């Protein structure tokens, strides 16, 4: 009997993860449009899973901020204003700033610093040799740097809270990098961001906590600038937003465009 109960729990957990990933993809790729209603019965039938794991998946997506509770029951795919996204990016900047300060104050080992410097060296090479696929490569390396810096903070609490913030696709460090790639000064923006990477790491190595925090908070403003560009009139916004995961969830009104 215990083995059977364990097997049932494992199957439900697996179904929950599968439903979560499937629903998140349907939302982010635009198959489920903003405002679309999701009920347990309909979603369970669509995905071919039972209602118990489906209920857990819907609750997780609501916790991540991609779904809102619907007045008539069930959930609805959420719409996001530019102000919502701007706030999420700002909050990420605050948390990553705290992570940089913790890293500086608690001290980072030589091996840890060297690993992050190697990541920055790879990004430097990308910026020096601008080839096809460089932006895609930058996204991966940029994520490595941000993950590595967070690890240096040695704070599980901070890591957990930051994970909650960047569960929204627009708030992650590389959310608007590919949209940015459509601009004429795309490389210039990456150069600025990379300069900030080096400055933050130098501050951490020098154990300058206040400076590291300020630099990391300033670094988040690059994403806010890219958001403004993606929403601006005359900058091929429709094309740019297609390169952003979940770009179709962003409200496209004049009020929204000037909200940041």
Class of the domain covering 82-257 = mainly alpha
DSSP code of residue 258 = T
Coil, strand or helix at 77: strand
CA-based nearest residue to 67, from 80, 78, 53 = 78
- What is the per-residue pLDDT for 117? 98
pLDDT at 87 > cutoff 70 = yes
pLDDT digits (tens, 9 = 90+) for 249-259: 887 654 444 44
Give residue for tokens 């300020």: 214
pLDDT digits (tens, 9 = 90+) for 143-198: 999 999 999 999 999 999 999 888 887 888 877 776 666 667 778 888 999 999 99
Token couple for 208: 């300058």
Coil, strand or helix at 260: coil
Token couple for 243: 């390169």
pLDDT digits (tens, 9 = 90+) for 208-244: 999 999 999 999 988 888 777 777 744 444 566 676 7
Alpha helices in the chain (DSSP H): 2-28, 40-47, 51-64, 82-106, 110-128, 134-152, 156-165, 177-180, 186-205, 209-219, 221-231, 237-241, 254-257
Class of the domain covering 2-77 = mainly alpha
- pTM for the full predicted model: 0.80
Q: What share of the chain in percent tops pLDDT 90?
A: 47
Give residue for tokens 């969830």: 249
Domain range annotation of the chain: 2-77, 82-257
């Amino acid at each position: 009997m215990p083995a059977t109960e364990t097997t049932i729990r494992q199957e439900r957990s697996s179904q929950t993860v599968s439903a979560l990933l499937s629903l998140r993809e349907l939302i982010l790729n635009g198959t489920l449009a903003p405002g679309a209603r999701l009920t347990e019965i309909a979603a369970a039938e669509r995905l071919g899973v039972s209602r118990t794991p489906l209920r857990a998946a819907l609750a997780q997506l609501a916790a991540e901020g991609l779904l809102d509770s619907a007045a008539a029951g069930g959930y609805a795919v959420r719409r996001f204003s530019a102000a919502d996204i701007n706030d999420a990016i700002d909050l990420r900047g605050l948390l990553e700033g705290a992570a940089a300060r913790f890293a500086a104050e608690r001290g980072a080992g030589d091996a840890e610093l060297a690993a992050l410097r190697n990541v920055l060296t790879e990004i430097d090479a990308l910026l020096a040799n601008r080839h096809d696929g460089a932006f895609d490569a930058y996204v991966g390396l940029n994520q490595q740097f941000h993950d590595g810096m967070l690890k240096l903070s040695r704070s599980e609490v901070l890591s957990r809270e930051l994970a909650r913030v960047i569960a929204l696709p627009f708030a992650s460090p590389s959310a608007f990098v590919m949209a940015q790639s459509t601009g004429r000064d795309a490389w210039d923006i990456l150069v600025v961001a990379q300069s900030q990477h080096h400055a933050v790491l130098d501050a951490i190595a020098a154990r300058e906590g206040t400076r590291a925090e300020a630099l990391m908070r300033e670094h988040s403003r690059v994403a806010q600038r890219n958001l403004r560009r993606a929403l601006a009139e005359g900058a091929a916004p429709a094309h740019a937003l297609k390169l952003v995961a979940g770009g179709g969830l962003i409200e496209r009104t004049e009020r929204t465009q000037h909200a940041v």
